[in-house]
Amino acid sequence: MNLAQRLAEEVRPFLDLLEGSPDPVFVTDRLNHVVAWNQSAVRLLGYEAHEALGMSCSALMGGCDGSGNRYCSEHCPLVDMAGRGDVVRHFELRLRPKEGPPVFVDVNILQLVAPSPHHFYLVHTLKPSEQVFRPPVAREEPEAPPRSAIVSARESPDARARKLTQREVEILGLVAAGRTSAEIASLLHISALTVRNHTQNILDKLEVHSKAEAVAFAFQKHLV
């Protein structure tokens, strides 16, 4: 039985529709294996469908964030998020094509629910970005958050501040210093998606609705 035959009957007609899409699209299963790869993806990345199908997404394209930090891996964070039922939002990746320099793309994810044993499929829609590849340069090392900031969070009379982890205090300090998400990702050697997740956790824990409110809270509570 080939890959197409193993796909759940409920989602196979939808996947067939993607074949003629002008947008580069590929689909992975819960094991992070490519189960669909359309002709637009062939034109963008150079891999023919027979080369991509069955491959691990990370092994095939080695996705990194814009700063070159490895994002795709054997333990895909998107699969973990989908397994928990979380919504996966837009993010950026640098992909390795079959030939030539890396390709920068904006990625949008659509999660398709399927019956057991499939559970779900992740439809990756790619939009080439205007960013171009530049050889990596020495990266600035981030300064550790001042011990006083960490202590202030741990000993704060405000329970919201005490909920913050050391990494969240660190990111809050960088946000307060005017750093963008991309700059924070580069400084901390993590993906932009991870930065956004930490930032959302900070907003949730501090019970605020924006970065500006979070920074105001940080200054008020002497966290920065």
The answer to whether 219 and 212 are in contact (CB under 8 A) is no
Tokens 């982890």 sit at which residue? Answer: 165
Provide the pLDDT for residue 121: 85
Range in 15-24, 140-149, 187-196 with the lowest mean pLDDT: 140-149
Mean pLDDT of the chain: 80
Residue 86 DSSP one-character state = P
CATH architecture assigned to 9-128: 2-Layer Sandwich (3.30)
Mean pLDDT of 118-136: 73
Give the rounded distance of the alpha carbon of 204 from its chain centre. 19
Domain boundaries, the chain: 9-128, 147-220
Residue 24 tokens, joined: 């580069």
pLDDT digits (tens, 9 = 90+) for 83-103: 777 777 677 888 889 998 888
DSSP secondary structure of 98-149: SSSS-EEEEEEEEEEE--TTT-EEEEEEEEE-S-------PPPPPPPPPHHH
Q: 147 pLDDT band (50/70/90 cuts)?
A: low
Cα–Cα distance between 215 and 21 in angstroms, integer?
43
CATH architecture assigned to 147-220: Orthogonal Bundle (1.10)
Tokens 């189960």 sit at which residue? Answer: 35
pLDDT digits (tens, 9 = 90+) for 28-43: 888 888 988 999 999 9
